[in-house]
Chain A
Amino acid sequence: MQTDPSTFQASETIEQIATPRHLQQRCLSPGDGSQAAKQAIANAEQALKKLSVNFDEWMRGEVGKLKQARGAAKASQFSAQTIDQLFSISHDLKGQASIFGYPFAADICSSLCKLIDGSAGHGHLPEALLDQHVDAVVAVYREQAKDRDHPKASILARKLCDVTDDYLNQLRRRAKT
């Protein structure tokens, strides 16, 4: 927990400790490493490119899990456990879909996470909006909408983000009154 400066007592001890420098000593060699860094990054990008032959298959699996989680959430009438599972898969896709080549799916999942997180405290998850998010991710994958300039995917993602923001703002306003 961070110390609150306004409550700070002059007598409180704050020690500064020298961190062991063993990584510097063991892993750094003198000289200009900028070329080595460029090479290492290029190697890693190349390795990721090789790995990318799996990405469509991985994306298919994750989209399948998302659909399944939505089904389980509905079947349980949105129990806390199934909503948590839906959030978890959506959150994974938020972090991974761009790497897999589906940046709009990442945007939509980011919005879905925000929707689930923001609605949770108000005890109401809007089912239609949730469905639209999941269906949009399925459509982005089905249509292989990978480019950032894909017109339909772009509009779809932006609309869902806007509607979610509006909905959550309404919830907040209602909670205040």
Chain B
Amino acid sequence: MAKIAFDELRFVVADDNAHMRRIVRTLLRAFGSREIYESEDGASGLEAVEAYSPDILISDIKMPIFDGIELTRMIRNPDGCKHPFLPIIILTAYSEKKHVIAARDAGATEFLCKPVSAMSLYRRIQNIVENPRDFIQTKSYFGPDRRRYVNPNYSGVERRSGDEAGHLVDPNQVSLEA
């Protein structure tokens, strides 16, 4: 485990609840972060991402205007957002499986259930910084690789060009245009 320079990390925290924003900001500042921007709905979250170019977005799901899942989808559109690779932590009280799957399929990087603890938030950020996952692009999905591990028993067709060819696509060449 390497040391994380939190003072180098810039965050946007999107949550419509002021208490929760304060709690997350308190945790991040105690970790050592100095640049933390807040927004209280999905639209201002997207604006903050465009304006401040954060290193990590921490977003609630249930927010006014558009929710955290929609915000994630908008960010993961390389033709619509300047930061399609932005690591996104979904921090929500929606703990049911359907919400975890919705967040994953929208392109969230990490999922964290409220109540948040210092340890759980630190571990998610650590994972993002130390072990960034490669991205996958299909007609209907653009986001972090949803395979968290290699299944040694998988016997189906290998569907990834990078897997087969042994090389990866240059991130600068990404576009979802048909």
The residues of A that contact B170 with a CB separation of less than 8 Å are 17-18
- From B2, B4, B27, B137, name the one whose CB has the most chain A CB atoms within 10 angstroms: B2
Q: Smallest CB-CB separation from B119: which chain A residue?
A: A41
Taken together as a complex, chains A and B put the C-alpha atoms of A45 and B120 apart, in Å, by 12
- From A34, A51, A106, name the one whose CB has the most chain B CB atoms within 10 angstroms: A51
The answer to whether B31 has its CB under 8 Å from any CB of chain A is yes
The answer to whether A77 has its CB under 8 Å from any CB of chain B is no
Task: Count A interface residues, CB 8 Å.
Answer: 50
- Nearest CB in chain A: distance from B64 CB, A: 9
Contact A28 B3, CB 8 Å, known A92-B93, A96-B115: yes
The answer to whether B5 has its CB under 8 Å from any CB of chain A is yes
Taken together as a complex, chains A and B put the C-alpha atoms of A174 and B151 apart, in Å, by 41
A17 contacts B8, CB within 8 Å?
no
Taken together as a complex, chains A and B put the C-alpha atoms of A94 and B94 apart, in Å, by 9
Taken together as a complex, chains A and B put the C-alpha atoms of A41 and B126 apart, in Å, by 12
How would residues 68 to 111 of chain A score, 1 for a CB under 8 Å from any chain B CB and 0 otherwise? 00000000000000000000100110111111000000100000
Taken together as a complex, chains A and B put the C-alpha atoms of A31 and B1 apart, in Å, by 7
Taken together as a complex, chains A and B put the C-alpha atoms of A92 and B69 apart, in Å, by 17
- Nearest CB in chain B: distance from A88 CB, A: 7
Give residues 96-125 of B contacting A (CB, 8 Å).
101, 105, 114-116, 118-119, 121-122
The answer to whether B6 has its CB under 8 Å from any CB of chain A is yes
Taken together as a complex, chains A and B put the C-alpha atoms of A171 and B115 apart, in Å, by 30
B118 contacts A94, CB within 8 Å?
no
Taken together as a complex, chains A and B put the C-alpha atoms of A12 and B6 apart, in Å, by 40
- Nearest CB in chain B: distance from A141 CB, A: 15
Q: Which of A2, A29, A40, A48 contacts B32 (CB 8 A)?
A: A40
- Nearest CB in chain A: distance from B21 CB, A: 11
Taken together as a complex, chains A and B put the C-alpha atoms of A32 and B62 apart, in Å, by 38
How would residues 162 to 178 of chain B score, 1 for a CB under 8 Å from any chain A CB and 0 otherwise? 11000011110010000
Contact A20 B85, CB 8 Å, known A2-B105, A15-B161, A37-B126: yes
Contact A96 B105, CB 8 Å, known A13-B138, A17-B135, A44-B122: no
Contact A36 B26, CB 8 Å, known A24-B130, A44-B118: no
Taken together as a complex, chains A and B put the C-alpha atoms of A68 and B145 apart, in Å, by 44
Q: Smallest CB-CB separation from A109: which chain B residue?
A: B93
- Nearest CB in chain B: distance from A96 CB, A: 6
Q: Which of B2, B5, B128, B137 contacts A14 (CB 8 A)?
A: B137
Taken together as a complex, chains A and B put the C-alpha atoms of A97 and B160 apart, in Å, by 44
B161 contacts A16, CB within 8 Å?
yes
- From B19, B136, B145, name the one whose CB has the most chain A CB atoms within 10 angstroms: B19
The answer to whether A21 has its CB under 8 Å from any CB of chain B is yes
Would you list 15 pairs from A and B whose C-beta atoms are within 8 A, ordered by A residue?
Answer: A8-B157, A14-B160, A15-B137, A17-B135, A18-B135, A21-B132, A23-B87, A26-B5, A27-B4, A40-B31, A91-B62, A92-B20, A95-B114, A96-B19, A99-B23
**Top-7 shortest CB links A-B:** A16-B162, A95-B114, A95-B93, A44-B118, A33-B3, A47-B30, A44-B30
